[in-house]
Amino acid sequence: MTATALLLLIVGLALIGWLTARARATRLQGVGGKRLHSLPGQHGWYVAMWVAVPALIFLAFWSWLSPQLVNDAVLATPQAQSLPAAGFERSAILGEARNLAGTEGLGAFNPEAEMLAPVFDGYMTSYAWIGTAIAVLLAFAGGAYAYTRISTDFRARTRVERAVMLALLVASLIAILTTLGIFLSLLFESARFFAIVPITDFLFGTNWAPQVINPADPGADLGAVPLFWGTFFIGAVIAMLVAIPFGLMSAIYLTQYAAPTVRKWMKPILEILAGVPTVVYGYFAALTVGPAIRDLAVSLGFTFASSESALSAGLVMGVMIIPFVSSMADDSIAAVPTSMRDGSLAMGATTSETIGRVLLPAALPGVVAGVLLAVSRAIGETMIVVMAASGAATITLNPFDSATTVTKQIVDLLTGEAEFNSPKTLAAFALGLTLFVITFLLNIVALRVVKKYREAYD
């Protein structure tokens, strides 16, 4: 039985348990003059959880254990006696045989794999049926146990609420532990990098040339200041010069000036920009915006202008993050109490004065949060800068010059053929850690600003 079919079977059994338990609880309603402590539906959910949860936990454990059991069973057969004792070749043959199991007409690179494929198929089928039988037995056992506990005094609601709280706690812990795992993995690999390259050379060096690293002094060629400047110049300067004015003005128009019909259509159209894949923006920047900016630069006297300029990547990135600024500003302005707006207008202020002196100051926490979110999104953008920005690490104030970013260099470093333990590859993790810390600090600043101004305007 396939995993999908087994999952549907467990869900079906849980549904049957829910219906059966609900029906029994309904029949107990009013028997002997007693009222049910919990609703019939809550009894149904209690039984459904006991049917589904133990079976699903076992299936998760079985999916991890059964491949090793199949491998051990196959290795114990006479057909596997001719395999190498251990090593990569043996693992490759077993992996190929597993992939060939259950298929017909597909050739194999290793003859031993083709010979072991039917053996794998047989044991995989056997262990799949064993797992299915145990899961179904657990579902029936759990359902029977929960079903026998249904009574007028049974606190099914409390048990269900505790289970839901536990599920929410597990979900929140998964999110926290995932973030912690990402940070620790970056920290561990970055520590290996900084054991080779001094952290001061990395953070304050102005020469970035990972292709020509000097083994005697790798820090001299891995100074990341040009990358930090390019990331700041493209993502936090050029992109924000586009996103903040257009995003804020569009939010003001949609909340204060637009008719309801116009707002109904314009707001979803504006937010479509946030759903466009970044690779599409990258194509647009590389094929349309970049050449147009190069021609403009040439006409202005910049003879050696390139289509891979900081301005082309920054402009398209700014268009991409307009919805982030606009949506947060829109929601913040709309959340300002109407009495503040009406009081300003009643005192004789114009609409523009009310917006500038009342609404925007009151909505400042949301506006700042939207801007910082947009900055975080911009400095972490990868696809646009990979396709539209240059790989040249330079420090320049000219937007028509080539520039690169941290994310662009991470892609370049991890797609090469260098050894994993080399400073060139490990530098990608140091750059990732730096980007992580910068984003983290931006979030802290956003929370501090929101907290400060929220207290002032509550």
Name which of 191, 219, 204, 209 is nearest 430 in CA terms. Answer: 191
**Distance between CA 197 and CA 272 in Å, rounded?**
44
Q: What is the pLDDT of residue 110?
A: 65
**Distance between CA 12 and CA 140 in Å, rounded?**
12
**Distance between CA 144 and CA 191 in Å, rounded?**
54
Q: What is the pLDDT of residue 113?
A: 65
**CB 372 within 8 Å of CB 328:** no
Angstrom CA distances, 157 to 39, 130, 151, stand at 7, 35, 12
> Which residue is listed with tokens 């047989």?
122
Angstrom CA distances, 110 to 18, 102, 105, 364, stand at 51, 17, 15, 66
**CB 36 within 8 Å of CB 63:** no
DSSP state of 220: G
Beta bridge partners of 208: 222
Angstrom CA distances, 42 to 14, 27, 45, 150, 161, stand at 13, 14, 5, 11, 9
> Which residue is listed with tokens 């017909």?
104
Number of other CB atoms surrounding residue 78 within 10 Å: 7
Q: What is the pLDDT of residue 162?
A: 92
Question: What letter represents residue 118's amino acid?
Answer: P
Name which of 54, 206, 182, 164 is nearest 440 in CA terms. Answer: 182
What are the average pLDDT values for consecutive 10-residue runs of the chain, which has 458 residues? 81 91 82 73 90 91 86 76 65 70 59 71 83 91 89 86 91 88 90 89 87 78 88 90 91 88 86 85 89 88 81 91 88 84 86 86 83 85 84 84 88 76 86 89 80 59
Number of other CB atoms surrounding residue 333 within 10 Å: 22
Q: Is 310 left (phi over 0), alpha (psi -120 to 50) or beta?
A: alpha
Name which of 134, 109, 107, 103 is nearest 121 in CA terms. Answer: 103
